[in-house]
């Protein structure tokens, strides 16, 4: 179901890109190619249709995005790696610390 919703979101976004590219920024676009307004889809009706299609696709993408969050595949892990207990090891001996030479006592290399 999640995959179907994602495919629908992608299709809606591609259709939105096409519709936005058809429109002109000042309201012309596809509507400017009609010479008279008494045709079946005149200048005003074409811009109304494109505007309604843009809003419908935008609302559909938002709704599908919200609905897709309900269908996200949830993975279950047994435990986080940091919570897994380490195997028991030998206790550390505080007296078994290697000795390092003092900072000033190093002899220069020859």
Whether 95 maps to a domain, the answer reads no
Output the six-digit token pair for 1. Answer: 């179901």
Whether 78 maps to a domain, the answer reads no
Q: Which helix (H) or strand (E) holds 43?
A: helix 43-68
CA dist 63 and 34 (Å) reads 34
Phi first, then psi: give them for residue 39, nearest 5 degrees: -80, 180
Confidence at residue 38, expressed as pLDDT on a 0 to 100 scale: 47
The residues near 73 (Cβ < 8 Å, ≥ 6 apart) are: 2
Whether 3 maps to a domain, the answer reads yes
Whether 54 maps to a domain, the answer reads yes
Whether 91 maps to a domain, the answer reads no
Q: What percent of the chain has pLDDT over 70?
A: 47
Number of domains in the chain: 1
Whether 83 maps to a domain, the answer reads no
Residue 56: pLDDT band (50, 70, 90) is: very high
Whether 106 maps to a domain, the answer reads no
Whether 47 maps to a domain, the answer reads yes
Name the residue range of residue 8's domain.
Answer: 1-15+42-69
């Amino acid at each position: 179901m999640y995959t179907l919703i994602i495919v629908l979101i992608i299709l809606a976004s591609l259709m939105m890109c096409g519709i936005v590219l058809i429109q002109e920024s000042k309201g012309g676009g596809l509507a400017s190619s009609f010479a008279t307004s008494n045709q079946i889809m005149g200048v005003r009706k074409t811009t109304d249709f494109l505007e309604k299609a843009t809003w419908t696709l935008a609302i559909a993408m938002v709704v599908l995005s919200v609905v897709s969050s309900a269908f996200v595949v949830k993975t279950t892990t047994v435990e986080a790696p940091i919570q897994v207990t380490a195997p028991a090891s030998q206790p550390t001996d505080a007296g078994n610390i290697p000795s390092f030479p003092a900072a000033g006592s190093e002899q220069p290399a020859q």
